[in-house]
Chain A
């Protein structure tokens, strides 16, 4: 069974700096790190100390609330240092690879064999390996709780935001891993596993995947956002749970189950006008590689902002960080503090606008160099009714934002906030003339609801 869904609301930003589709290798030069800080809401108990030797897949720390869940080392080596943050929270475990082939062994399965497993068998493997962290749960987009059974599972095989990695590049030559991962997912829920693809997805491993319900979405961003998929296929009702993954997560899980060793390879996209043109593309490296090595020689001159995730809903990071387990791409943009004379009314054709009042909006098929400039100062929220055009969900953005400002969680839930994620409102933030951060408002209210319960 498959369905085709046309998305009308949204906007594709004509952004310069799209990634090419070549993959280059970056071997770690010195150390690699595991970042417990990546999981801000989880607490860990350290299992190693400085100077210890670990094998590939060796447990570094275990979750306090789920001791079977271990953070594992992607390489064999020696613990070089352990970085603690505020209140002795575990931030980073630095490992110096020692070149040993030592590896922890896990159960090995065949692609077809996975279909015969029970839910608990699959879950145990994912929990023990720590790869359960790749499965997210909605509402609230947290790491999946294995004690809950999702009504359905959503795999996102799209890339509509500027920029996210092309799933077709990620699955190249990995048909078996993809199918193995999907087969494992079918064991986790009684409902279907939805594989959501772009309507124009070229035939390949993605379109020929089996045992899933393939759905095809057509339209502008956020046609590729998971909320959009859930809303149109199996909306979240109060009390519902769904699990969500990305193609890179499915591949990682598939690789782990087929080989029985902890996967270390990670493919990351580098894109944006702040990355040199010839370096825009994909990097094959090992989880935890320092970003300074990933970006070695890749950045353009001048002050650049490195964004973990995409330009609309990512996190600014520095080169001191490393490759998180959940990373699949970075966008680099020029940090733009340039001031322009009478720029607030100059009829510019160089700076993109979604509003017809700026001539740049009238030019079709032109790519613009986007920067981090805020393009104006923050003001009271004045315009109304323009935001619904950018949210393809049955959500009224103006009343929802007012409920968020008023901290009225009950009203926000009635208006459908539990179906959304902050990233769904990124385009509203982009177009807002008053420079209001809708995503932050929604994030804060979701946080409030999660803490208070509903």
Chain B
């Protein structure tokens, strides 16, 4: 394609005037800018005193996150197809599962991108700023946190809530307090709870429960059963949950896919390894602490009673069950809503791990805790940063003072 570049450049230059100030489509400039800079790098030269600039721009950063999400998306598609056939009771091959999965998942992703994209463009036009590439990520993250059986109209209102209330009311990208994709999910979680949790595949076939391992485990634990054995009886072993061919939200079931994404984010330097490592440490520590809780206790009359065995789930199971891996890799690392200082990132990540386990194990209402943990820590992140910076300033002043004493 020797002339493709010139053709595009010519076509764009021919209409550029119409979109610039004073042109007839002046208001639609953000749309034009988005398309123009999508195909061709901008012709801008550096301003100010730093005359050379790095090859990386925000488009590349955001697109790297999209690439890191691909393993989860592809596995999610396959898993959705598998679950569909499993609960329909039809034996079939992998290609058919993949194809069926596409039919289930792609409309959800498309709805999220189209509806969310419209809001994004709308706000860009009204506010007269460029369309922000961050939406490439939000638009894909959100559908991956949904059960495959969700209705498209729910996807549409979910992403609308996420973009408008989660991001734009705060002033747009870079100013939001909560992760927009997670805000969207939380909205659906509370407003449409019965479609979001538990028996997601039940409608596919009568009699099938379709419960996620996490939901099942919580139920068993509440009845004092041995959770690991109970899960294994249902077909959920540590190994099977590692692969994630199981009911759950589209993108979160496979630890391996999440780990691939984490590797891409860490190697490229786009996602914070501190948050991920802190999260793992917090999750394991809290999981172990739960393990040493007693399973029997005495009631007020001194009679021994059976307590929940849900606390006894081995700590490593917390990593493979539910959405923790997906959440800590893709949601918690959103740099805008996370802690911004490096020390703060460790604390922020670790507390997400701890709160996740606390909600999962000690709260009988919600089987999964990672979404609430991340949203809660999103709110807390500025406070963590505040104290980290305060400690830094105190140490800094001390070092400086000692320096002058040492010199006499």
Q: A139 to nearest B CB, angstroms?
A: 13
Chain A residues positioned under 8 Å from B41 (CB to CB) = 339-340, 343-344, 373, 375-376
CB atoms of B51 and A394 under 8 A apart: no
Known contacts A344-B37, A377-B130, A383 near B335 by CB under 8 Å: yes
Quick one: closest A residue to B394, CB to CB? Answer: A414
CB atoms of A345 and B59 under 8 A apart: yes
Which of A339, A353, A373, A431 has the most chain B CB atoms closer than 10 A to its own CB?
A: A339
CB atoms of A345 and B61 under 8 A apart: no
CB atoms of A437 and B51 under 8 A apart: no
Which of B49, B52, B64 contacts A357 (CB under 8 A)?
A: B64
Chain A residues positioned under 8 Å from B63 (CB to CB) = 344-345
Which of B8, B52, B272 contacts A372 (CB under 8 A)?
A: B52
Bitwise interface map of B from 158 to 171 toward A, beta carbon under 8 Å scored 1, else 0:
00000000000000
Q: A147 to nearest B CB, angstroms?
A: 23
Known contacts A355-B269, A382-B58, A435-B57, A234 near B407 by CB under 8 Å: yes
Task: Answer yes or no: B400 CB below 8 A from chain A CBs.
Answer: yes
Using a CB-CB cutoff of 8 Å, which residues 382-400 of chain B contact chain A? 385, 389, 392-393, 396-397, 399-400
Q: A213 to nearest B CB, angstroms?
A: 12
Give Cα A370 to B58, complex, Å: 20
Known contacts A380-B175, A385-B345, A311 near B42 by CB under 8 Å: no
Known contacts A343-B40, A345-B60, A382 near B49 by CB under 8 Å: no
> Interface segment, B143-151, B205-213, B283-291, B336-344?
B336-344
Give Cα A107 to B219, complex, Å: 95
Task: Answer yes or no: B302 CB below 8 A from chain A CBs.
Answer: no
Known contacts A373-B45, A430-B53, A341 near B4 by CB under 8 Å: yes
Known contacts A343-B40, A377-B37, A380-B172, A385 near B54 by CB under 8 Å: no
Task: Answer yes or no: A335 CB below 8 A from chain B CBs.
Answer: yes
CB atoms of B173 and A382 under 8 A apart: yes
Which of A315, A345, A351, A377 contacts B49 (CB under 8 A)?
A: A315
CB atoms of B42 and A376 under 8 A apart: yes
CB atoms of B59 and A344 under 8 A apart: yes
Chain A residues positioned under 8 Å from B51 (CB to CB) = 305, 307, 311-312, 314, 316, 331, 333, 372
Quick one: closest B residue to A341, CB to CB? Answer: B5
Task: Answer yes or no: A88 CB below 8 A from chain B CBs.
Answer: no
CB atoms of B42 and A399 under 8 A apart: no
Using a CB-CB cutoff of 8 Å, which residues 270-286 of chain B contact chain A? 270, 272, 274
Task: Answer yes or no: B197 CB below 8 A from chain A CBs.
Answer: no
Known contacts A357-B268, A358-B56, A373-B45, A416 near B396 by CB under 8 Å: yes
CB atoms of B132 and A379 under 8 A apart: yes
CB atoms of A314 and B55 under 8 A apart: no
Chain B residues positioned under 8 Å from A380 (CB to CB) = 132, 172-175
Task: Answer yes or no: A313 CB below 8 A from chain B CBs.
Answer: yes
CB atoms of B46 and A372 under 8 A apart: yes
Give Cα A32 to B187, complex, Å: 72
Chain B residues positioned under 8 Å from A311 (CB to CB) = 50-52
Which of A305, A341, A376, A381 has the most chain B CB atoms closer than 10 A to its own CB?
A: A376
Using a CB-CB cutoff of 8 Å, which residues 407-437 of chain A contact chain B? 414-416, 422-423, 426, 429-435, 437
What's the tally of chain B residues with a CB closer than 8 Å to chain A?
Answer: 65
Known contacts A356-B267, A379-B133, A339 near B40 by CB under 8 Å: yes
Task: Answer yes or no: A13 CB below 8 A from chain B CBs.
Answer: yes
Known contacts A339-B40, A344-B37, A357-B268, A379 near B50 by CB under 8 Å: no
Task: Answer yes or no: B9 CB below 8 A from chain A CBs.
Answer: yes
CB atoms of B267 and A235 under 8 A apart: no
Task: Answer yes or no: B25 CB below 8 A from chain A CBs.
Answer: no
Known contacts A377-B37, A396-B392, A433 near B64 by CB under 8 Å: no
Task: Answer yes or no: B239 CB below 8 A from chain A CBs.
Answer: no
Q: Identify whether the interface residues of A are mostly helix, strand, loop, or mixed.
A: loop
Quick one: closest B residue to A380, CB to CB? Answer: B174
CB atoms of B342 and A385 under 8 A apart: yes
What's the tally of chain A residues with a CB closer than 8 Å to chain B?
Answer: 75
Give Cα A431 to B56, complex, Å: 8
Using a CB-CB cutoff of 8 Å, which residues 311-338 of chain B contact chain A? 335-336, 338
Chain A residues positioned under 8 Å from B269 (CB to CB) = 355-357, 386
Bitwise interface map of B from 13 to 53 toward A, beta carbon under 8 Å scored 1, else 0:
00000000000000000000100011111111111111111
CB atoms of A385 and B173 under 8 A apart: no
CB atoms of A434 and B58 under 8 A apart: yes
Using a CB-CB cutoff of 8 Å, which residues 207-258 of chain A contact chain B? 234-235, 237
Give Cα A429 to B37, complex, Å: 21
CB atoms of B39 and A341 under 8 A apart: yes
Task: Answer yes or no: B298 CB below 8 A from chain A CBs.
Answer: no
Give Cα A385 to B407, complex, Å: 33
Which of B4, B45, B55 contacts A352 (CB under 8 A)?
A: B55
Task: Answer yes or no: A46 CB below 8 A from chain B CBs.
Answer: no
Task: Answer yes or no: A183 CB below 8 A from chain B CBs.
Answer: no
Task: Answer yes or no: A371 CB below 8 A from chain B CBs.
Answer: yes
Give Cα A376 to B397, complex, Å: 39
Chain B residues positioned under 8 Å from A104 (CB to CB) = none
Task: Answer yes or no: A354 CB below 8 A from chain B CBs.
Answer: yes
Task: Answer yes or no: A90 CB below 8 A from chain B CBs.
Answer: no
Chain B residues positioned under 8 Å from A394 (CB to CB) = 396, 399
Chain B residues positioned under 8 Å from A336 (CB to CB) = 45
Which of A235, A354, A399 has the most chain B CB atoms closer than 10 A to its own CB?
A: A399
Chain B residues positioned under 8 Å from A181 (CB to CB) = none
CB atoms of B45 and A372 under 8 A apart: yes
Give Cα A399 to B339, complex, Å: 11
CB atoms of B58 and A379 under 8 A apart: yes
CB atoms of B174 and A435 under 8 A apart: no
Give Cα A358 to B60, complex, Å: 9
Give Cα A21 to B379, complex, Å: 57
Chain A residues positioned under 8 Å from B190 (CB to CB) = none
Task: Answer yes or no: B153 CB below 8 A from chain A CBs.
Answer: no
Give Cα A342 to B38, complex, Å: 7
Give Cα A355 to B266, complex, Å: 11
Chain A residues positioned under 8 Å from B45 (CB to CB) = 305, 335-337, 372-374
Known contacts A339-B41, A379-B130, A399-B385, A433 near B54 by CB under 8 Å: yes
Give Cα A426 to B351, complex, Å: 35
Task: Answer yes or no: B404 CB below 8 A from chain A CBs.
Answer: yes
Using a CB-CB cutoff of 8 Å, which residues 116-172 of chain B contact chain A? 130, 132-134, 172
Q: B141 to nearest A CB, angstroms?
A: 15
Chain A residues positioned under 8 Å from B272 (CB to CB) = 385
Further pairs besides A382-B174, A426-B49: 4, Cβ < 8 Å: A382-B58, A384-B338, A415-B389, A437-B50
| 13 A-B pairs with C-beta separation under 8 A | A235-B400, A313-B50, A342-B40, A355-B54, A357-B56, A357-B60, A357-B64, A372-B51, A377-B44, A379-B58, A380-B175, A384-B341, A431-B54
Which residues of B does A touch, CB under 8 Å?
A: 4-5, 8-9, 33, 37-61, 63-64, 130, 132-134, 172-175, 267-270, 272, 274, 335-336, 338, 340-342, 345, 385, 389, 392-393, 396-397, 399-401, 403-404, 407
